[in-house]
Amino acid sequence: QVQLQESGPGLVKPSETLSLTCTVSGGSITTYFWNWIRQPPGKGLELIGYISDSWSPNYNPSLEGRVTISVDTSKNQLSLTLNSVTAADTAIYYCARARTGRNWLDPWGQGTLVTVSS
Amino acid sequence: EIVLIQSPEFQSVTPKEKVTITCRASQSIGSSLHWYQQKPNQSPKLLIKYASQSMSGVPSRFSGSGSGTDFTLTINSLEGEDAATYYCHQSYSLPITFGQGTRLEIK
């Protein structure tokens, strides 16, 4: 059974870069699409972007220009980088698997809270 | 992008009650609509894919229906463990989007 686990700093200063990793266990990171989704505290869900099984990224236009998603197949890890963060980027960040870029999301990681604050 | 509007946003219900949550899309999305359950301090869990296909292990009291722009998640005979926030999600077009959520409180 595939499991996803997000990790990274829980606190990032404004204007700096947020970097997170999602480790995939119980299965290969190849063949699927891998998504990053975030959820501000007490609010709804927002797609950040995904990377395809051919390692082509696709980003939400609302974040394009600040975000990079990549994969390290040797480590079975997915990475997220978000530049120039502000308090509005404070959220729980989830990684989730999909069969294609337009498909249901399952499974999800447990999520990691990132707070942007000085 | 496609906007999904859920109703109600909050509902307080008693055990064994039947609950209906609706999700309306801003344009037709066929059957590319999925439902998730998120319990407090947990990540979302996929309940229903493609409007009406229940995921393995999901209790039979959960069912989904609809197509085009109007969709429904029904919970028959609600149980205490169903207290959660429910989200719809469209995968018809990019960027994929989610409804704002429906929080169910069990009385």
Dump pLDDT digits (tens) for B28-67.
999 999 999 999 999 999 999 999 999 999 999 999 999 9
- Is pLDDT at B96 greater than 90 in this prediction? yes
Mean predicted confidence (pLDDT) in A32-57: 95
pLDDT over 70 percentage in chain B: 100
Q: Do B44 and A105 touch (CB under 8 A)?
A: yes
Mean pLDDT of chain A: 95
Chain B: closest CA distance from residue A54 (Å): 18
Q: Do B89 and A104 touch (CB under 8 A)?
A: yes
In a mutational test of the B interface, the residue from A3, A4, A6, A45 whose CB has the highest number of chain B CBs within 10 Å is A45
User: In B, residues 75-104, which contact A (CB 8 Å cutoff)?
Assistant: 87, 89, 91-101
Q: Do A44 and B93 touch (CB under 8 A)?
A: no
Q: What pLDDT sits at residue A64?
A: 82
Mean predicted confidence (pLDDT) in B9-15: 97
Closest partner residue to B46 (CB to CB) among A94, A106, A109 is: A106
Mean predicted confidence (pLDDT) in A40-44: 94
- Is pLDDT at A46 greater than 90 in this prediction? yes
- Is pLDDT at A31 greater than 90 in this prediction? no
- Is pLDDT at B89 greater than 90 in this prediction? yes
* A31 vs A62 pLDDT, higher one: A62
Mean predicted confidence (pLDDT) in A68-78: 95
Contacts of A107 in chain B (CB under 8 A): 46
What are the CB-based long-range contacts (under 8 Å, 24+) for A75-78? A75/A23, A76/A23, A76/A24, A76/A25, A76/A28, A76/A29, A77/A21, A77/A22, A77/A23, A77/A24, A77/A29, A78/A21, A78/A22, A78/A24, A78/A29, A78/A34, A78/A36, A78/A51
B94: nearest CA partner in chain A: A102
Chain A: closest CA distance from residue B16 (Å): 27
